[in-house]
Structure 1
Amino acid sequence: MIKSFNSPLSSVRRPFSTDESDDGYCIVKNKKKQKQNTRDESQALNAGEASRVNPTTINIVDTNPDHNQIHAVNDNQHRLSLNNFVITNESTRFAQTRYPFPPLVLRFSSGKVTVNQIKESLLDHCKKNHQFDVQVINCRLSSHIFSDNEYDILIYVKDAASFSFLLDEAHWPSVIGNKKYFFPSTPAIPPQLCLLIKNVDLHIDFYEFCTDIRTNYSHIKNIIRMKNKFQNDIKMVKVELTSSSARDELLNKKRIIVNYITYDIIEYLAPPNVLICSKCMALGHFKKQCTQIKETCRTCGDQVEDMKNHKCSNVEKCVHCGRNHKSSSLKCPVVKSFRAELTRKILQIDNQSSPDSRLLNKNVIFNSTNFPPPPAPKSSTLLLNPMMVKLDELINKLPKVKDRLDKFEAKHDKFEQFIFDKNRNDETIIQNMNDMSNNYMILKKDVVQQNLFIERHENLFCKLLIPMLEDVFTFISAKNQNQKGNPLDAHLKCRINRYFIQMKKATEGKPFSS
């Protein structure tokens, strides 16, 4: 499992070194003279020596070079830093041990409370009232100058438990040194209290997602959707917590449930800060360890005798890659490559320092006396043991069990085939029923239309044609009579009477014969 290396935030320290770069930390390893050549660099790195980013150097005191030779040495050093990265012990220590948590800021409006009083009061209060031992690395006065006699005290803690404990203002004493104070700002949540939720869909309601997380997990403070280098949303969500125990509990479970969906959780590893010399802008050493005579401007890249008297052109040019950005910029491709190598070395150191790797590195010598042969069986009566007999019977019955399982598997395959055929037939029947239903609806529409046609024709015959025929037949009957009222054509009169009777039956809906 990859361990986090307590990388500090950019707000805690600058990415380049200054005269006060150590902040109370000192290098305890002895520095060897830098007379070794490039062939010995890897051996020195594996042996844990304090290597430099610029491996090829010249002892200026011995050779007494002139001004041009110094420039040539510096240029050669920068060219080597572009191509061959040597991760120094200073770089790894800078990324791992320098104030891994942002400071907790206390602001006093008056008085002069010392840092020792603040530290002792805080430790005593937490131990007596809350039974908690706060681990404080450093406590110092801020260099920022305020008006009205205000001043800030910065408190740096050692571990995530202390940081999360002090995030709650209820755990602080009300006064320190008989002086009241307040918190001007809330510190940012460090990577040691953060987690990553994987595979969060981009199309979900993110507001509902965050609401459900805050409802079920009260220690979660911020929920942030991560972005790629093109500032597009990705499926990673960063979660910032205020409790180290809650964070460890979630990390041990390796999953979180949000809106009845289970998501995987991994540890959030922030990229380590890069050690950049503020004098020569080279990578991997502090300013007080720099061998360059002149100072390099981080903006324009010019080398000057005194940076205070330098008039910068404000035309940005990186001394590492020559592009238009500052030499201390973290977007420089050379700095990015150096950071990748630094991360790889830190992870390699963490893996090599694990207990398993230390055991594997030891030479184990086999000794037969430590592993004696097992004793011989006391007697052959063990074969007559009832338990052994039962075990033999079970072993003999295993082939029968295998045959039964094979038969059961064959029947199971047949049943699966039957279910498959049944589902396919059901789908066919459902399709046919849907077709019949559609045909029924079409037929029903046709019947309605035919009924309308029949009703229209029926009205036409009953209300128009039959009354008109009655009038015609009445007229014909009148013309078929003489002056005395006798029919001129008796056969015609009979037919007209028969027509009248049939039209009357048709009007009444009675059957009639021709």
Structure 2
Amino acid sequence: MVINYVKYDVKEYLPQATILIYTKCFGVGHFRKQCKQTDDTCKVCSERYPDIIKHNCSGIAKCLHCGGDHHANDMKCKVVKQYRADLTKILLSYSNKSFNNDMFNNMFTSTSEFPPLLRPTKSTINDYKMLAGEQNGIMTKLDQILNSINNINDTIGDLVKRTEQIEDWINAKQKFDLKINNGIRSLQHGISRHDGVLFNQTNFIEKLILPAMDDIMAMLSVMNVKEGR
């Protein structure tokens, strides 16, 4: 393989071989057509039964291949792992025989046959020639955009002035409301004072003047009786 005029040796990558385990007999590495077993094998206890559906498994794991305490299709089984390793070695040896690393030796990789590409030249805006009609159209659109921006600025200025006027009116109203509230409080305070004075005068009349008037009237009545009037 040649990358940037450099030749590299290529080796085929083969992952670990996939192991086929037939679920009827749990034999390793064969298909259904190759299986000669008629009974079903339980993957847990490894016992054979004519009908696996009616099988009452003990639940105790016993591998069919190594007798270990795991299922028969467990990839950690040492027998399955060994079979997989052997199969991978066979595939790798077959691949190495069929693949020829010298297949690129007859290729010509000189720079004359693969010349380097020219670097792209940077273009500037001065190198770009625009037609007169296109220039006029662009300038017209720019003028329209500038006029729109000016109109927007004028509208914003009017809104700012109106906002300032509204703020001044609100401030004046707040001051006027404050004066009204202060006047109302003063009147309420004066009314409270007058109510207090009136209450005191009423008490004075009821408790002092009226009893005195009653005494005077009683005394006048007594004098009239004595004089025979």
| TM-score range for the pair, normalised by the shorter chain length | 0.3 to 0.5
Counting helix residues as a fraction of each chain, which structure ranks higher?
A: 2
TM-score (norm 2): 0.38
TM-score (norm 1): 0.17
Q: Greater Rg, structure 1 or structure 2? A: 2
Counting strand residues as a fraction of each chain, which structure ranks higher?
A: 1
Structure number with greater CO (CA < 8 Å, separation at least 6) is 1
